[in-house]
Amino acid sequence: MTDITSQTDAALAAIAAAASLEALEAQRLETLGKKGWVSLALKTLGGMSPQERAAAAPAIQSARASIAAALDAKKAALEAAALEEQLARETIDLTLPAPAVPKGSVHPVSQVMDELAEIFADLGFAVATGPEIEDDWHNFTALNMDETHPARAMHDTFYFPDKTADGKDVLLRTHTSPVQIRAMLEQGAPIRIIAPGRVYRSDSDATHTPMFHQVEGLVVDKDIHLGHLKWTLETFFKAFFEREDIVLRLRPSYFPFTEPSVEVDVGYATEGGRRVVGGHGDAPGHAWMELGGSGMVNARVLEFAGLDPKQWQGFAFGLGIDRIAMLKYGMNDLRAFFDGDPRWLMHYGFSPFDQPTLSAGVGARA
Ligand code: PHE
């Protein structure tokens, strides 16, 4: 009896003194391990008479319980201390000086997206987003292109082998227009959004890459007409190209999701082999260049998006971001945008500190 008490006291003291998880494990083996004295003492109970067992068992059981509890508590304490020590050891000194030569730069596409958001925010537009992996309802059907619509074939769509749970085709969105549908379904009307992002078409040459960037614009409100569209695009391009002599030409066109539809051309001149935006496209030495598509939102699209076309009208536009970036910053090969060549990025990239603001001029000073 006294023997067990003193042995237990000694074990508890040794456990308390254990300085490491290894030392603690040694204590566990000595007591509760297969050959530990507590385990051996428990085994002797089997050979005892019922009276002897009744007398001896409680002391052994309580020794085992107190030692097990002490081992658990000490283990938790040692592990917590080890974690603290590791956290202290792995701290990073954030006060270390930055490298003398800045590493990395902002890609022109990201820069232009920031500029777009800044200019359109000033006109009261919020930025909306949607998934790049879309279903064919949002990408086509709700945009007034049913299964048999020939415009579907023109989109050179990348399809996934799987379908959605409710049987829709899954694809990489071919334009940012599905964000129109998502935004109207989520927010209703009136609404004023732009949606910049990546789009995908199975198409590739010097002026087309399988992934490129668009910005969608959508305004739905009461009494909206084509004049609002033209003013909005003109105001945007003047701010974006930072010149007042921007002349737009709206050329009749066709998109299933707008009616009427117009393509947006901008006048430009060629100076020193470079296209410079500005001036009337029919003026001497000038020409027109297409920047995107637009039009009044088709009544059927409003219906698909849950809005009553008798009550609401809107305009929408889609512009190629890569193209307006090339025009503004003077690059001539679209493919370089996606090569990830650090030399190109150092040359055309922008400082992360050069945030576009309207007051300082949205253009980056390279
Ligand atoms: N989604 C069209 C395209 O990718 C552009 C567009 C957007 C046209 C909005 C009209 C209105 O070509």
Q: Looking at ligand 1, which atom is closest to the CA of residue 176?
A: 1
Strand bridging mode 159-163 / 169-172: antiparallel
Distance from the alpha carbon of residue 286 to the mean position of ligand 1, in angstroms: 26
- Ligand 1 pocket test, pick from 175, 180, 261, 296 with the greatest ligand atom count within 8 Å of Cβ, gives 175
Pick from 134, 177, 250 the residue to mutate for probing ligand 1's pocket: most ligand atoms within 8 Å of its CB. 177
Task: Decide whether any atom of ligand 1 lies within 6 Å of the 298 Cβ.
Answer: no
Nearest atom within ligand 1 for CA of residue 218: 9
Report whether residue 139 contacts ligand 1, using a CB cutoff of 6 Å.
no
Give, using CA atoms, the residue closest to atom 7 of ligand 1.
318
Mean pLDDT, the chain, rounded, equals 92
Q: Whose C-alpha lies nearest to ligand 1, atom 12?
A: 293
pLDDT band at 366 (very low <50, low <70, confident <90, very high): very low
Question: Is the minimum distance from the CB of 8 to ligand 1 under 6 angstroms?
Answer: no
Q: What would be the CATH architecture of the domain defined by 108-348? A: 2-Layer Sandwich (3.30)
Task: Tell me what pLDDT residue 185 has.
Answer: 98
Tokens of 41: 């003492």
Of the ranges 183-187, 334-338, 359-363, which one carries the lowest mean pLDDT score? 359-363
pLDDT of 94 above 90: no
Neighbours of 221 (CB within 10 A): 14
**Does ligand 1 have an atom closer than 6 angstroms to the CB of 105?**
no
Residue bearing the CA closest to ligand 1, atom 10:
294
Closest by Cα among 227, 221, 297, 209 to 261? 297
**Could you give the angle at the alpha carbon of 95 between the alpha carbons of 89 and 99, nearest 5°?**
110
What Rg, from alpha-carbon coordinates, does the chain have? Answer: 36
Distance CA 153, CA 178 (A): 17
Query: How many angstroms separate the Cα of 210 from the Cα of each of 165, 254, 306?
Result: 27, 23, 32
- Spans of all domains in the chain: 2-89, 108-348
Q: What is the pLDDT of residue 104?
A: 80
Q: Which residue among 257, 264, 265, 319 is best mutated to probe the pocket of ligand 1, counting the most ligand atoms within 8 A of its Cβ? A: 257
- pLDDT grade for 363, boundaries at 50, 70 and 90: low
* Ligand 1 pocket check for 258: Cβ under 6 Å: yes
Q: Residue 154 has what pLDDT?
A: 73
pLDDT, tens digit (0-9, with 9 covering 90-100), for 248-283: 999 999 999 999 999 999 999 998 888 999 999 999
Q: Is the CB of 318 under 6 A from ligand 1?
A: yes
What is the position in ligand 1's atom list of the atom closest to the CA of 317? Answer: 9
Could you identify the atom of ligand 1 that is nearest to the CA of residue 174? 4
Q: What is the pLDDT of residues 124-162, one digit of tens each?
A: 999 999 999 999 999 999 999 988 887 787 778 999 999
| Mean pLDDT, residues 32-60 | 90
Q: Is 219 in the pocket of ligand 1 (CB under 6 A)?
A: no
Atom of ligand 1 nearest to the CA of 217: 9
- The answer to whether residue 353 scores a pLDDT higher than 80 is no
Q: Is residue 68 pLDDT above 50, yes or no?
A: yes
- Report the percent of the chain where pLDDT is more than 90: 73
Cβ of 236 less than 6 Å from ligand 1: no
CA of residue 257 to ligand 1 center, whole Å: 8
* Percent of the chain surpassing pLDDT 70: 97
Query: What is the three-class DSSP state of 58?
Result: helix
Q: What is the 3-state secondary structure (H, E, C) of 258-311?
A: EEEEEEEEEEEEEECCEEEECECCCCCCEEEEEEEEEEEECHHHHHHCCCCCCC
